[in-house]
Amino acid sequence: MFIGIWEQLNNPDFNSPEFEGIKNEAGLNRFTLSVKKWIEKTNAKGLFAKTGRYGSGTFAQKDIAFEFGSWLSPEFKLYLIKEFQRLKEEEYRTKSLEWNLQRTLAKVNYRIHTDSIKENLIPPQVTKAQINFIYANEADILNVALFGITAKEWRDSNLNKKGNIRDFAVLEQLIVMVNLESMNAELIRLGLSQSERLKRLNEIAINQMKSLAKSISIKKLK
């Protein structure tokens, strides 16, 4: 019985042993069961009968009502399936748009960040290896400020994982990382040393993570 399975999944007070007894008798010709008796025997919550001055009737939780409607009408079931598919597609498009927007924002900020490094930290006539070292070094300032470890330290501790430390970051951390990239670029232009920038970026990361942890808007995006 669909109703019994629904109760077992959604009602912690449901009397499952009593339900098994009812299920065993359900195929007998003499078997009858009213909504009121069903509730009394099993402590069910998905169905309820209502009587009153302006009429009476039997009401059901929406999952049960949808199942009943699907059983009565194949047309209703098809409409229900199509609506479910439409909502899932819309949900996917929304999440995809949010992710693409976030990725685009991160790329824009990363360009600002790397341009600032190129203009302010890389001396002229350096080799490509030297440039790569400086970029990696600056990236680790942000990693340490936000995650507390460098990229290499993370890889050494996660040998079984593919990717890098930022690939496994949560939404809040990704948002803060985008902000830190812009802020670090500005601190570089102001001429602050790496040690001073790391200290400031870490303080900013702590404050922003605390704020985002309380944000209702962020929770809705997950």
DSSP 148: S
Please tell me whether residues 102 and 66 are part of one structural domain: no
Same domain? For 164 and 132 the reply is: yes
Helices (H) and strands (E) in the chain, counts: 10, 2
Question: Do 67 and 99 share a structural domain?
Answer: no
Q: Quick one: 65 and 100 in the same domain?
A: no
The pLDDT assigned to 134 comes to: 63
Instruction: Name the token pair of 12.
Output: 């912690």
The per-residue pLDDT for 130 is 60
106 and 138 assigned to the same domain: yes
Residues of the chain with pLDDT under 50: none
Closest CA to 121 of 185, 177, 167, 72: 185
Q: Which domain holds residue 146?
A: 89-221
R_g (Cα) of the chain, nearest Å:
30
Residue where a domain stops, chosen among 45, 72, 99 = 72
Predicted local distance difference test score (pLDDT) of residue 104: 67
Q: What are phi and psi of 56, to 5 degrees?
A: -140, 170
Q: Flag whether 208 is in a domain.
A: yes
Tell me, yes or no, whether 194 lies in a domain: yes
Is residue 33 located within the same domain as residue 141? no
* 178 and 208 inside one domain: yes
- Predicted pLDDT of residue 106: 67
In the predicted model, what is the mean pLDDT of the chain?
Answer: 76
Residues 44 and 100 in one domain: no
Number of domains in the chain: 2
pLDDT in tens, 81-125: 777 777 777 777 766 666 666 666 666 666 666 666 556 655 566
Instruction: Tell me if 121 sits within 8 A of 138, measured CB to CB.
Output: yes
Question: Which of 207, 202, 209 lies closest to 187 in space, CA to CA?
Answer: 202
**pLDDT for the residue 16:** 82
Same domain, 103 and 157: yes
Name the pairing type of β-strands 57-60 and 47-50.
antiparallel
Q: What is the DSSP letter of 29?
A: T
**109 assigned to some structural domain:** yes
Q: What are phi and psi of 193, to 5 degrees?
A: -70, 165
Whether residues 124 and 152 fall in one domain: yes
Distances (CA, A) of 110 to 138, 147, 187, 198, 207: 12, 18, 15, 17, 21
What single DSSP character describes residue 57? E
Angle, helices 171-189 vs 128-147, to 10°: value is 130
- 193: in domain: yes
C-alpha–C-alpha distance, residues 181 and 186, integer Å: 9
Q: Are the CB atoms for 41 and 15 separated by under 8 Å?
A: yes
